[in-house]
Amino acid sequence: MRFLLLFLAVPLASLAQNHEQFVFDGPAVVIHGGAGGIERKYYTEEQIASYDSSLRVILNAGYAMLEEGHTGMDVVVHCLTLLENNPLFNAGKGAVVNAEGTVELDASVMNGATKKAGAVAGLRHIKNPAKLARDVMDHTPHVLLIGDGAESFAKTRSHEFVENKYFLTPKREGQYQRWKEMKKNGTVGVVLKDAQGDLYAGTSTGGMMGKQYGRVGDVPIIGAGTYADNNGAAVSCTGHGEYFIRENVAFQVNARMQYEGLTLEESASRVIFGVLNEEAGNGGLIAIDANGNVTWTFNSKGMFRGAKGKMKESQKVMIHTDIFGDPTWPEQCGF
């Protein structure tokens, strides 16, 4: 009841921009490039344009694959790989660094039709963690492999190895020098419905800037940062991972839909604006259900995000991208 009151207390005007929904017909893809203290004043027009065009390139690539009938898992991994290779985002190249100045990467993927999932954590030399997460799902009896063990498994599956410094960009090195003041987060995620009507989710990250060596966040924890179930929704999260682990955010969105009978929209709002706000846990999520309902919901200042699909009402294919939230939205925990 307490969270419900809190949820209801959220001003509707603020919800408008930090909480949008679409309804798609047929296959659709939704991506995020991280949530956090993303405010217009920190970005030049040129930077905004390059984030926007990166999101669009990835949405177009994913949607084209869906239209060609590729399985949703191929599309999730392809989109995550493009996001990981793009230095603008906190995953793969461009990932944040830990307190010791090295990059440790986490990723996971999940198939909502079979509930099969794969995840990796603490990688230091694998160029594309999302591909390895998929291989854990497809080629081991396990769900999560970590660190050296995950990397030695990668050798058996011909993954591309890189030096740890490959992931570092001048921007991240600069941030590392200032990380105590910065408190920045990021992460990338994909949720989609494929041409067969199945739901898929995947998430990939460098974690939190200045994290302790060995720290694992929500992203590779199935149910925390990633979850997909055809009977509920495919969900990918971004934000302060410890809160998302403790609250099992991605699974909780599913559980509220299935056990409380909430819509995707209601469920995502209650988890982000109710449960997380109550704890001052900062972040957001993207989600899609089997009826083509899509939501993005975040309690931070902004979230890099985009969606592409055929709108149910107009039957027109729409691509929509956005970065910032409502500028009057209160910062929940200082990001």
* Residue with smaller CB distance to ligand ASP, 27 or 217: 217
Cα gap 215→217, rounded to integer Å = 7
Total H helices, total E strands in the chain: 12, 12
Catalytic residue, candidates 81, 187, 226, 297 = 187
Burial code (b: 16+ CB inside 10 Å, e: under 16) for 80-105 equals bbbbbebbbbbbbbbbbbbeebebbb
CB of 129 to ligand ASP, least distance (A): 12
The separation between the first and the last C-alpha atoms of the chain, rounded to the nearest angstrom, is: 27
Q: Would you call 187 a catalytic residue per the annotation?
A: yes
What is the closest distance, in whole angstroms, from the C-beta atom of residue 36 to ligand ASP in the complex? 6
Minimum distance from CB of 200 to ligand ASP (Å)?
Answer: 19
Return the number of the residue (65 or 123) whose C-beta is nearest ligand ASP.
Answer: 123
Residue 332: CB atoms within 10 A of its CB come to 22
Cβ of 58: how many Cβ atoms within 10 Å?
A: 26
Residue 90 or 254 with smaller CB distance to ligand ASP: 90
- What is the smallest separation between the CB atom of 85 and ligand ASP, expressed in angstroms? 18
Least distance from ligand ASP to the Cβ atom of residue 168, Å: 17
- For ligand ASP, the closer of residues 210 and 239 by Cβ is 239
Interaction site with ligand ASP (CB under 6 A): 34, 90, 185-187, 205, 207-208, 217-219, 225, 238-239, 241
- Render the burial of 201-222: b for 16+ CB within 10 Å, e for the rest: bbbbbbbbbbbeeebbbbbbbb
Q: Which is nearer to ligand ASP, 43 or 266 (CB)?
A: 43
The secondary element (H helix, E strand) that includes residue 48 is: helix 45-67
Contact 210, 176 (CB under 8 A): yes
Active-site annotation, residues = 187
